[in-house]
Homo-oligomer: A and B are copies of this chain.
Amino acid sequence: MSAATKSRGFVGVVTPQDMTFDVPLELRSGAVMPAYTLRYETYGTLNETRTNAVLVCHALNASHHVAGMYADDPKNIGWWDNLIGPGKPVDTDRFFVIGVNNLGGCHGSTGPASRNPATGRPWGADFPLVTVEDWVEAQRRLADRLGIERFAAVVGGSLGAMQALQWSISFPDRVRNALVIAAAPRLSAQNIAFNEVARQAIMTDPDYHGGDYYAHDVVPRRGLRLARMLGHITYLSDDSMAEKFGRDLREGKLNFGFDVEFEIESYLRYQGDKFSTYFDANTYLRITKALDYFDPAMAHGGDLAAALAPATAGFLVISFTSDWRFPPSRSREIVKALLDNSHDVSYAEIDAPHGHDAFLMDDPRYHGVIAAYMGNIAT
């Protein structure tokens, strides 16, 4: 982030908050979560009519920390800070923005590493599988407690976009607009395949201990590291990897050994190592499952239009040309299903080189579309 950006549109120091829910939550699996906590942050001010709230849903490895920084950790900038702030495309001078760590997460909300009240030990393997529908239901309860009857918009990229889509189906009266960015209406076999390799990497790590590694004072770091390395490949485009790393050699020559030789190897190992120090493996497993399971058309015999029929929101769907994880064709499936319902939908296909990760980038055409769309939302 440049100093200019900071002075122009930075939300500044933010403080996460916790909200505890005592009413048990029945999950799609049939399991029941007893009391649980959601950690969240807010930026901007809720107006008197409570009509300016925007919910930002996070993807696989993000959290409630969407914008701003922490007083005691100024380098920890929110993951979508380039989009959200005063004068930014999601303008906190106009909107009251909420970020929330999903149930099952590892950034403050109740998750597999939390204490299971039934045993007094970490949930571990006993933490139930959670779905996009469950997250949306949990977020709805948070909205209730915050006194928000209807969101001006629910916004998300990737898995976050699936939550925005699910909001429009589960609670049509409670969301005026859904911003569905870099999404797919359900994973392809190839998408599931990548998730499965990541899961198997974690679950076959001897330090996984069937998910109860907390009791052994270890974490399945090898597996998490591999999962993250693999994930990174799918987040970037072939072209952006070529541009950023190409076949560059770290020492300018081949060493005929198995230490890092190509810069891309160094990058992946670094990303994997870093991730494995802070992300909970049980959360990773569950989030990939939530991705695999998301398929609103399933209950309608595969008919996505039928699944989206209840929606009343206005939609902005955005895809990126170089995204091979959820390519534009997947977003067009969503647009087609919305049009089949005569729903109000705008669609932008952004010519961006960054692959799936483009949704996190500060691209003027991309941000311009969001700024224009958000600017048209009355508060």
Q: A residues near B, CB below 8 A?
A: 28-31, 128-129, 186-190, 192-194, 196-197, 199-201, 203-206, 222, 225-226, 229-230, 232-233, 236, 238, 241-242, 244-247, 254, 256-258, 261-262, 264-265, 268-269, 272, 285, 289, 292-293, 295, 324
Contacts and interface: CB of A to CB of B under 8 A. Distances in A.
| Chain B CB within 10 A, most for which of A28, A226, A246 | A226
Contacts of A28: 256
A197 B268 contact: yes
Contacts of A295: 247
Given A190-B241, A256-B128, A225 B196 contact: no
* Interface SS, A side: helix
A344 to B, nearest CB: 29
A322 B246 CA distance: 23
Given A192-B265, A204-B222, A197 B247 contact: no
B258 A199 contact: yes
B246 A226 contact: no
A256 B129 contact: yes
A128 B258 CA distance: 11
Given A30-B256, A186-B247, 11 more contacts: A128-B256, A129-B257, A189-B241, A189-B242, A192-B262, A196-B265, A200-B269, A204-B222, A205-B222, A247-B295, A324-B324
Contacts of A128: 256
10 contacts: A188-B238, A190-B238, A190-B242, A193-B264, A196-B264, A196-B268, A197-B230, A203-B258, A258-B289, A262-B292
A200 B30 CA distance: 38
A254 B293 contact: yes
Contacts of A254: 29, 293
Contacts of A244: 189
A297 to B, nearest CB: 10
A194 B340 CA distance: 40
A308 to B, nearest CB: 18
A192 B264 CA distance: 8
Closest 8 A/B residue pairs (Cβ)? A29-B256, A189-B241, A204-B222, A129-B256, A189-B245, A190-B238, A189-B264, A196-B265
A293 B255 CA distance: 10
A204 B261 CA distance: 17
Given A256-B128, A262-B292, A268-B196, A226 B229 contact: no
A293 B257 CA distance: 11
A264 B199 CA distance: 13
A233 B189 CA distance: 10
Given A129-B256, A247-B295, A268-B193, A188 B226 contact: no
A256 to B, nearest CB: 4
A203 B30 CA distance: 40
